[in-house]
Chains A and B, each alone.
Chain A
Amino acid sequence: MREKSVDQAIPDVVDFNFHVRPILSDRCFKCHGPDANKREANLRLDTEEGAFAALKDDPSRHVIVPGDPMASALYTRIVSSDTSEMMPPPSSNLALSKREIAILKKWIQQGAKYKKHWAFIAPVKSSVPDVDDDYNPRNEIDHFIFKKLEEVGLDPNEEAEKETLLKRVSMDITGLLPSIEMQEKFLSDQSPDAYEKIVDELLSSKHYGEKMAIPWMDLARYADSHGYQDDGYRTMWPWRDWVIHAFNQNYPYSTFITWQLAGDLLPNPTKEMLLATGFNRNHKITQEGGVIDEEYRIEYVTDRTNTFGKAFMSITLECAKCHDHKYDPVSQKDYYSMFAFFNQVPEKGLVGDIQLASPGDPPNMKITTEDVKTVMNFINKKDTSPVVVMVMKDSMGIRPTQLLRRGNYDQPADTVDMNTPTSILSFNTKKFEKNRLGLAKWMIDPKNPLTARVFVNRIWNEFFGKGLVKTVGDFGMQGELPSHPELLDWMSVDFMEKGWDIKRLVKMIVTSTTYRQSTKRTTDKLQTDPENKYLSYYPRLRLSAELQRDLILSAAGILNKEIGGPSVKPYQPKGVWESTTSGRGELAKYVQDKGDKLYRRGLYNFIKRTAPPPALLIMDASTRDQCEVTRSRTNTPLQALVLMNDPQILEAARVLAQNIANLQLTEKEKLKKLFQLILCRKPNDSEMEMLQQYYTQEKNRFNQNKIKAASFIKAGEYNQIKTKDLGETAALMQVNQLLFNLDETTVK
């Protein structure tokens, strides 16, 4: 099976970046890589000089002799059978496969050409390949994708059913189900641009910002509590409201990140720019009495630095905190030179322990009702008292930054200057000032090889469930290689050329033929391309935790579509907070909200870091402990329990049942309507049959036991709606539960 899969062939032209470095990086760099301290035999294979050098113990021989494998120690050692000679050494638990050895050999034969790591070379637009028009390519994406499919001998799928497609694109852009009206409009609209019209409508919806904000919250490790064990309340939610606003206003990505990184340093910054810098204060803050102040201050700066690396550059910077990076050209010095940018904040490791904890340690800004009325009307402030939000600020005069031995705050070494890794893009002090603003400009400099790629890839990941670079958080040498390098580069350059226009990027993706494929998969496709790397069908993806909730509430018609504001506390099992807390602080006890606050979107769920909302966590949501750029997608029995027994979902089923029960419709029509509301398509005959069978069975059961029926439909605090027939209502509610739990319901 594997043998058959397309990635096993040995390429005619061996490319260093795509074929050789992954091998060297994973199997050799640990001891022969960038990390000077761990380097064995003073031999490094990550640079040309190192690789072509003469052997230390035998100057007559060389590690690599271009064109001559047998003369190259590298080759002879990896094929050696002598355990003392053999590389990698058996003790390392690392071994080279037949294919890998063949590749290295061929590479040496072909002259052992070194190249800079692909991700560190600025992207350039390559020419768009032609493809068969029968595939009906709609834009450049399709050209690149179909070209590759052609190469691996696969055909793309046909376009998905209109209903399916509508649900998919609607969930993807707004995170909400298409309204029945929208469904009918789209289904009846036969015009060629029907789909495009829908896309535009969705993109202009104010819920687009919410949908886009969800992954950004994970990335920015946003939460409503400070984290660490005495986990006090914080009010960063106005920053969250800003993110939603920024997406809806379609701020260029360049602006979006510049403000978040350095809004405070822009010439006479607006309050909005200041608010945006909250991004770098979302990290955890301790309130444990008796901690060592400096230890934690360093921890915060570290978090910012690592987050910067992971979120904007997809480089695992943190690996260089304690020692030179083992795989990527980032030295420990580089790390602390970056660190220096974020080391200028006038902050303390511990401002006050939990007893006198504040919702926002300095530096911070107060947002008054006045502000909300005027300059920041996107903030959904509920009462008249001002809100405190933590923001960034650089102290007067520069705080010198020292390299920390083994990353320990109490082992400072040489002082370092603000700088960026030259291997990525050198920090030209003529162009960039030496502060976060300079860093931001460096980020969005057209020559920066990473920024655009990383973002485009992340957006792609949102819509296709997997990035063009699979390791969304690691573009380094240990990361996966792009499945479609030309496409990624083309899109990245195009993205920059078109002014970092995010909505445009999204539209391009969702209007592509590639995106519009059906999810059907044949065994042939499964075998040739097991991971669906080449997108010969649309990957079927389970909705994220928040969206599952939103979907169910909106299908039931009880979703509260209000945008922004303080996070809410919906139903939550007893004791989740109480059993973990030290008993101190106002978050010791979970006080569930009432009324329409119970029906807000998942995005607004109050997140207490030390005890995140269980229902979301079980559905693989992030703990917001640190920057996360992807979520795992698991499939567990606990998830089944949530979907079956969460009062929130039972309530939705109940309210929907009661409303439907009161409609003047036949039983059949009612069931049909429920199905359509929840799955956004009409049931086929056999489905209809099963539904009716189930409904009748449940109805009889409940009719025999009205007491049970009565207690069943008690679910939730949403006001009860009178219905004629108790048994019918309970049965309908049961049907809703069934439909909510269908696999199809919670996937797009």
Chain B
Amino acid sequence: MKMEQQEKEFRLNVTRRHFLTKAGLGMGGAALGGLLFKDQFIGAESQAAMQLGVAQFAPKAKRIIYLFQNGAPSQLETFDYKPLLNKMHGAELPASIRMGQRLTGMTSNQEKFPLVGSTFNFAQHGQSGAWVSELFPHMAAIVDDLCFIKTMHTEAINHDPALTFFQTGAQQGNRPSMGAWMSYGLGSENSNLPSYCVLLSRGRGNGQGVYSKLWTNGFLDSVHQGVVFSSGEDPVLYLNNPEGHDKQNRRDMLDMLAKFNAASFENIGDPEIKTRIQQYEMSYRMQSAVPELTDFSKESNSTIKLYGPDCLVPGTYAANCLLARKLSESGVRFVQLYHQGWDTHGNLEGDMRMQAEDVDRASAGLIKDLKQRGLLDETLIIWGGEFGRTNYCQGALTKDSYGRDHHPKCFSLWMAGGGTKPGTVYGETDEFGYNIVKDPVSVHDFHATVLHLMGINHEQLTYKHLGRRYRLTDIAGEVVQGVIA
């Protein structure tokens, strides 16, 4: 019997460890019972091929900040320099290049496909000699910290499916998002904060909306759902105590609550009650952990200049970059930003200028800030959109304005820190910027690589749901060694 007891306890520890890290929940005797039981008795469905809550091998990156450029920035005006397009400006896209690639409803009935060169100048920068357009002077200044992938390609050609594909690994259906998988696989570092936070901003360019499906927990436990931080007075929904109610009221209420609940546990013995007590304690801690991070009033002048003055205006991209750093620094595994406004079907020049103005300084600032705090090597930054844009003009090509339609066959993004190879340019597109000629990287490959950097084998991070074992990388995905340091 004694052994039985020990035995049981040992298993408790194992499962406990497993669950706590898994759900990133608080410790302390009370909760354990609850969590444990939940885990042992209901967990059967969720058999993963790895032990949850801890990296499988030494992770290069501990945290991720994903600067998603929603609407799809044109690779041809950012990082993929194609002088040929300027030479052939106005000439028809050769059929041999297009090869019957399907088109969106916006250009499918267009009878001419005139090539357009970038109106912005490009130059090489840094040791790596990476090409960057004049729109991004601050990014250009740090190219040697960046790792460009020029050969991303995706399957979808419209925003909703493409975004959904990038965030969940599938164009349709309610699959868990990247951050949710991350939280499920690695748990949170700081149990007083959500392990997966979402920050939203809107640029001045043509916008495409976002939707909660992009940060959904899908069929995973809802503790893994992305928590949206709003620029309003409640940084996290329902976080603030009501008016006329202070920390002391709350503390006393929680204590009394615990007394009542403990009593009902005594005569019913339902472990869920204990879990519940613990959850209330956690919410209480969250109430002090979050405001500390969302208060920007004490930021130093040098920080403000690093991110740009609008970092003081809540809800701007710059403010979100700053907040992202603070969250990440306090142990949030996955911070997901979305910045709208890159959908440049027309008036590309004007829109791109405004968008670049909003993101260039802050994006570079974030990298520098992490670097100067010695956090860049353990934080993975990703900057990019859901697909690329066509090398031909959408609508009539006039001398002072042009636009580009959606293009899934090649586009650029960059990563920095977190074990990526700095000062790298990976992959090669053809001189038309239309097809990939070397080292293609699919969205699944991208996911596999990111998971790898976080110390997870993408084939083993699985969840069994309605009879099938699911993965972020679905049934594909190869780790791209070329971008790993």
Q: Do chains A and B touch in the complex (CB under 8 A)?
A: yes
Q: Which residues of A are in contact with B by a Cβ distance under 8 Å?
A: 1, 93, 228-231, 286, 288-293, 299, 302, 316, 318-319, 326-327, 350, 410, 471, 473-474, 476-479, 519-523, 526, 530-531, 540, 542, 573-576, 579-584, 609-612, 614-615, 617-618, 620, 623, 625-626, 632, 634-642, 644-647, 650, 686-687, 690, 693-694, 697-698, 701, 707-715, 730, 734, 737-738, 741-744
Report whether A617 and B242 are in contact in the complex, using a CB–CB cutoff of 8 Å: no
Task: Report A-chain residues with C-beta under 8 Å of the C-beta of B228.
Answer: 576, 579
Q: A744 contacts which of B108, B213, B264 (Cβ < 8 Å)? A: B264
Task: Report B-chain residues with C-beta under 8 Å of the C-beta of A523.
Answer: 269
Task: Report A-chain residues with C-beta under 8 Å of the C-beta of B261.
Answer: 742-744
Q: Closest 3 interchain pairs by CB?
A: A478-B467, A712-B244, A610-B211
- The stretch that binds A, out of B57-65, B119-127, B250-258, B409-417, is B250-258
> B95 in the interface, Cβ–Cβ < 8 Å?
no
A interface footprint on B238-278 (CB within 8 Å = 1, 0 otherwise): 11111111101110110011011101100111101101100
Interface centre among A231, A291, A531, A687 (most CB of B within 10 A): A291
Binding site secondary structure of chain A: loop
Q: A289-B105, A519-B270 are in contact. Are A709 and B244 (CB under 8 A)?
A: yes
> B418 in the interface, Cβ–Cβ < 8 Å?
no
Q: A712 contacts which of B160, B209, B245, B279 (Cβ < 8 Å)? A: B245
Interface members, chain B 199-237 (any A CB < 8 Å):
200, 202, 207-213, 216, 221-223, 225, 227-228, 230-234, 236-237
Report whether A350 and B105 are in contact in the complex, using a CB–CB cutoff of 8 Å: yes
- The stretch that binds A, out of B34-42, B177-185, B424-432, is B34-42
Task: Report A-chain residues with C-beta under 8 Å of the C-beta of B173.
Answer: 318, 626
Q: A623-B174, A641-B239 are in contact. Are A582 and B340 (CB under 8 A)?
A: yes
> B286 in the interface, Cβ–Cβ < 8 Å?
yes
> B293 in the interface, Cβ–Cβ < 8 Å?
no
Report whether A640 and B283 are in contact in the complex, using a CB–CB cutoff of 8 Å: yes
Taken together as a complex, chains A and B put the C-alpha atoms of A293 and B230 apart, in Å, by: 35
Report whether B211 and A609 are in contact in the complex, using a CB–CB cutoff of 8 Å: yes
Q: A580-B200, A620-B222 are in contact. Are A540 and B466 (CB under 8 A)?
A: no
Nearest chain A CB to B9's CB is how many angstroms away?
11
Q: A573 contacts which of B104, B213, B232 (Cβ < 8 Å)? A: B232
Taken together as a complex, chains A and B put the C-alpha atoms of A646 and B241 apart, in Å, by: 9
Q: B42 contacts which of A531, A540, A646 (Cβ < 8 Å)? A: A531
Interface centre among A476, A477, A636, A711 (most CB of B within 10 A): A636
Task: Report B-chain residues with C-beta under 8 Å of the C-beta of A519.
Answer: 268, 270
Q: B467 contacts which of A316, A640, A693 (Cβ < 8 Å)? A: A316
> B305 in the interface, Cβ–Cβ < 8 Å?
no
Q: A316-B466, A474-B466 are in contact. Are A645 and B241 (CB under 8 A)?
A: yes
Taken together as a complex, chains A and B put the C-alpha atoms of A737 and B242 apart, in Å, by: 11
Report whether B216 and A623 are in contact in the complex, using a CB–CB cutoff of 8 Å: yes
> B397 in the interface, Cβ–Cβ < 8 Å?
no
7 contacts between A and B (CB under 8 A): A288-B159, A611-B212, A625-B213, A640-B280, A710-B244, A741-B280, A742-B264
Taken together as a complex, chains A and B put the C-alpha atoms of A657 and B255 apart, in Å, by: 21
Task: Report A-chain residues with C-beta under 8 Å of the C-beta of B263.
Answer: 686-687
Taken together as a complex, chains A and B put the C-alpha atoms of A1 and B263 apart, in Å, by: 26
Task: Report B-chain residues with C-beta under 8 Å of the C-beta of A638.
Answer: 194, 227, 236-238, 283
> B438 in the interface, Cβ–Cβ < 8 Å?
no
Report whether B269 and A522 are in contact in the complex, using a CB–CB cutoff of 8 Å: yes
Report whether A229 and B159 are in contact in the complex, using a CB–CB cutoff of 8 Å: yes
Task: Report A-chain residues with C-beta under 8 Å of the C-beta of B248.
Answer: 701
Report whether B243 and A738 are in contact in the complex, using a CB–CB cutoff of 8 Å: no
Taken together as a complex, chains A and B put the C-alpha atoms of A584 and B213 apart, in Å, by: 19
Report whether A579 and B200 are in contact in the complex, using a CB–CB cutoff of 8 Å: yes
Task: Report B-chain residues with C-beta under 8 Å of the C-beta of A410.
Answer: 102
Report whether B279 and A640 are in contact in the complex, using a CB–CB cutoff of 8 Å: yes
List 9 extra interface pairs beyond A580-B211, A581-B209, A638-B237, CB under 8 A: A292-B104, A292-B157, A476-B467, A632-B222, A635-B279, A641-B238, A693-B256, A737-B253, A738-B253
Of all chain A residues, the one with the shortest Cβ separation from B259 is A690
Report whether B264 and A582 are in contact in the complex, using a CB–CB cutoff of 8 Å: no
Taken together as a complex, chains A and B put the C-alpha atoms of A160 and B108 apart, in Å, by: 67
Taken together as a complex, chains A and B put the C-alpha atoms of A635 and B271 apart, in Å, by: 12
Task: Report A-chain residues with C-beta under 8 Å of the C-beta of B209.
Answer: 229-231, 580-584, 610
Of all chain B residues, the one with the shortest Cβ separation from A713 is B244
Taken together as a complex, chains A and B put the C-alpha atoms of A644 and B173 apart, in Å, by: 33
Q: A471-B466, A519-B268 are in contact. Are A573 and B230 (CB under 8 A)?
A: yes
> B106 in the interface, Cβ–Cβ < 8 Å?
yes
> B282 in the interface, Cβ–Cβ < 8 Å?
yes
Taken together as a complex, chains A and B put the C-alpha atoms of A625 and B174 apart, in Å, by: 7
Report whether A291 and B270 are in contact in the complex, using a CB–CB cutoff of 8 Å: no
Q: B268 contacts which of A93, A520, A701 (Cβ < 8 Å)? A: A520
> B468 in the interface, Cβ–Cβ < 8 Å?
yes
Of all chain B residues, the one with the shortest Cβ separation from A581 is B209
Nearest chain B CB to A524's CB is how many angstroms away?
11
Taken together as a complex, chains A and B put the C-alpha atoms of A576 and B42 apart, in Å, by: 33
Nearest chain B CB to A410's CB is how many angstroms away?
7
Interface members, chain B 82-131 (any A CB < 8 Å):
102, 104-108
Q: A1-B11, A288-B159 are in contact. Are A575 and B269 (CB under 8 A)?
A: no
> B401 in the interface, Cβ–Cβ < 8 Å?
no
Q: A474-B466, A530-B41, A687-B260 are in contact. Are A610 and B213 (CB under 8 A)?
A: yes
Q: A574-B230, A738-B253 are in contact. Are A635 and B242 (CB under 8 A)?
A: no
Taken together as a complex, chains A and B put the C-alpha atoms of A686 and B262 apart, in Å, by: 13
Of all chain A residues, the one with the shortest Cβ separation from B252 is A697
Q: B212 contacts which of A573, A580, A583 (Cβ < 8 Å)? A: A580
> B172 in the interface, Cβ–Cβ < 8 Å?
yes
Of all chain B residues, the one with the shortest Cβ separation from A327 is B467
Q: B238 contacts which of A610, A625, A645, A744 (Cβ < 8 Å)? A: A645
Nearest chain B CB to A535's CB is how many angstroms away?
15
Taken together as a complex, chains A and B put the C-alpha atoms of A228 and B211 apart, in Å, by: 8
Report whether A229 and B172 are in contact in the complex, using a CB–CB cutoff of 8 Å: no
Report whether B158 and A291 are in contact in the complex, using a CB–CB cutoff of 8 Å: yes
Report whether A521 and B269 are in contact in the complex, using a CB–CB cutoff of 8 Å: yes
A interface footprint on B155-171 (CB within 8 Å = 1, 0 otherwise): 00111100100000000
Taken together as a complex, chains A and B put the C-alpha atoms of A530 and B273 apart, in Å, by: 16
Report whether A1 and B8 are in contact in the complex, using a CB–CB cutoff of 8 Å: yes
Nearest chain B CB to A320's CB is how many angstroms away?
12
Q: A573-B230, A645-B238 are in contact. Are A743 and B264 (CB under 8 A)?
A: yes
Taken together as a complex, chains A and B put the C-alpha atoms of A221 and B120 apart, in Å, by: 47
Taken together as a complex, chains A and B put the C-alpha atoms of A479 and B194 apart, in Å, by: 32
Interface members, chain B 285-342 (any A CB < 8 Å):
286-287, 315, 340
Nearest chain B CB to A710's CB is how many angstroms away?
7
A interface footprint on B4-24 (CB within 8 Å = 1, 0 otherwise): 000110010000000000000
Of all chain A residues, the one with the shortest Cβ separation from B467 is A478
Taken together as a complex, chains A and B put the C-alpha atoms of A650 and B228 apart, in Å, by: 23
Interface centre among A291, A646, A743 (most CB of B within 10 A): A743
Report whether B102 and A229 are in contact in the complex, using a CB–CB cutoff of 8 Å: no
Q: A637-B279, A641-B239, A743-B273 are in contact. Are A701 and B249 (CB under 8 A)?
A: yes
Report whether A634 and B223 are in contact in the complex, using a CB–CB cutoff of 8 Å: yes
Nearest chain A CB to B315's CB is how many angstroms away?
8
Of all chain B residues, the one with the shortest Cβ separation from A615 is B238
Taken together as a complex, chains A and B put the C-alpha atoms of A669 and B233 apart, in Å, by: 39
Report whether B40 and A690 are in contact in the complex, using a CB–CB cutoff of 8 Å: no
Report whether B260 and A644 are in contact in the complex, using a CB–CB cutoff of 8 Å: no
Q: A228 contacts which of B160, B238, B275 (Cβ < 8 Å)? A: B160
